Amino acid sequence: MSATINSSLTTNTVAPSTQSPKKPQQRQTAKEIIAVNVKTLIEQLEAGHSGALTAYLNAMSRFHNYSFGNILEIARQRPDATRVAGLWSWNQLGRKVKKGEKGIRILAPIIGIKRKTDDEVKDPAYTNKPVLVGFRNAYVFDVSQTDGAELPVMREVTGDVGENRDRLLAFIEKQGIELVFTENIAPASGVSYGGRIAILPGQTEAEEFATLVHEVAHELLHKAERRTTTTKVVKETEAEAVAFVVGKAVGLETGTASADYIHLYHGNASLLAESLEVVQQTSAVILAALELSRTETMADAELAQVA
């Protein structure tokens, strides 16, 4: 069986929690939720709990179709979640949420219609355009919180890159990045030069795949302008975090996230938030390419801007 990405069960339709809070809760904005989660992560890292970071990166690998803020929310509320969906979606799959289970709160977008201007009203060719007007609380549940019909078995791999190597090479080619294999870069496993990647030959398939993802991350993350200045340590750790997320998603044994990630921020919450966000975005771009390249339907417009 060929290797494939372990994709989470996602849905755009989520049902509200069946539990009624005793007191009305003030709604938080997406920025506020991200800030709270980053603050919590910093506190855990400073307390020596590097496993908290691993949980966040694991969530990125499982839920790469979710927004950065919602990934943080899922990881904080249920670090062991593997497949999430709303009540309606679980019901459609023949499963019911267990009595007494508490939903995982996320933010769902509220979409409205932009009103036409006077000039647009006169134009018969003009169509109404949807616009984001805000967010609402929505609730999803992990598969472990449900009972019912067996789900289709997800194809999983352990240490087997399978077809993902070819998909990654195709993605690199589409980005216009030259790829060479040379022993001249030893003892380094890989080097990114900006438009050119060099890989040390002789690595195992899993090692080579992880090295390729690491160097592609450099190309996507660090060859364009960033909001803040980054150091070499930050750049290397971000690229390694992307390799961790992508490797985890395709089923490779990636070990645990490096506790060195604490060097990213030195107490600066905004820097940590920015770093985690670009790691999530870059991982999502690479994983989307691995999924879509099977049928060669990926369009350049679908590639997110990650810098």
pLDDT of res. 225 = 64
Alpha-carbon span 272 to 119, nearest angstrom: 45
Query: Which pLDDT band holds residue 21 (cuts at 50, 70, 90)?
Result: very low
Query: Which pLDDT band holds residue 229 (cuts at 50, 70, 90)?
Result: low
Query: Which pLDDT band holds residue 30 (cuts at 50, 70, 90)?
Result: confident
Mean pLDDT, residues 237-258 taken together: 78
> What confidence tens digit (pLDDT) does each residue in 272-305 have?
788 888 889 999 999 999 986 544 433 443 333 3
Answer yes or no: are the C-beta atoms of 238 and 218 closer than 8 Å: no
pLDDT of res. 27 = 59
> What confidence tens digit (pLDDT) does each residue in 164-212 have?
999 999 999 999 999 999 988 876 788 899 899 999 898 888 889 988 9
pLDDT above 80 (res 127):
no
Identify the residue with better confidence: 21 or 126: 126
pLDDT of res. 145 = 96
pLDDT of res. 293 = 52
pLDDT of res. 216 = 94
User: Which of 26-35, 152-161, 213-222, 255-264 has maximum average pLDDT?
Assistant: 213-222
Torsion, Cα 172 173 177 180, to 10 degrees, reads 90
Which of 32-41, 120-129, 179-188, 235-244 is predicted least confidently?
Answer: 120-129
pLDDT above 90 (res 68):
no
Alpha-carbon span 140 to 145, nearest angstrom: 10
Both tokens assigned to 13: 């339709």
Helices (H) and strands (E) in the chain, counts: 9, 8
If one counts every other C-beta atom within 10 angstroms of the C-beta of residue 15, the result is 19
Mean pLDDT, residues 98-124 taken together: 81
User: Which of 6-10, 137-141, 202-206 has maximum average pLDDT?
Assistant: 137-141
pLDDT of res. 196 = 93
Alpha-carbon span 108 to 110, nearest angstrom: 7
Identify the residue with better confidence: 269 or 107: 107
Reported as half-sphere exposure (CB side, CA atoms, 13 A), residue 76 has a value of: 20
Both tokens assigned to 230: 């980054």
What is the b/e burial string over 268-294, where b = at least 16 CB atoms within 10 angstroms of the residue's CB? Answer: eeebbbbbbbbbbbbbbbbbbbbbebe
Query: pLDDT > 70: what percent of the chain?
Result: 70
> What is the DSSP code string of 209-236?
HHHHHHHHHHHHHHSS--SS---HHHHH
**Average pLDDT of every residue of the chain:** 75
pLDDT of res. 67 = 85
- The model's pTM is 0.60
Give the CA distances from residue 21 to residues 14, 26, 74, 195, in Å, rounded to whole numbers and listed in that order.
Answer: 18, 12, 20, 53
Alpha-carbon span 186 to 201, nearest angstrom: 10
Query: Which pLDDT band holds residue 233 (cuts at 50, 70, 90)?
Result: low
Alpha-carbon span 6 to 41, nearest angstrom: 25
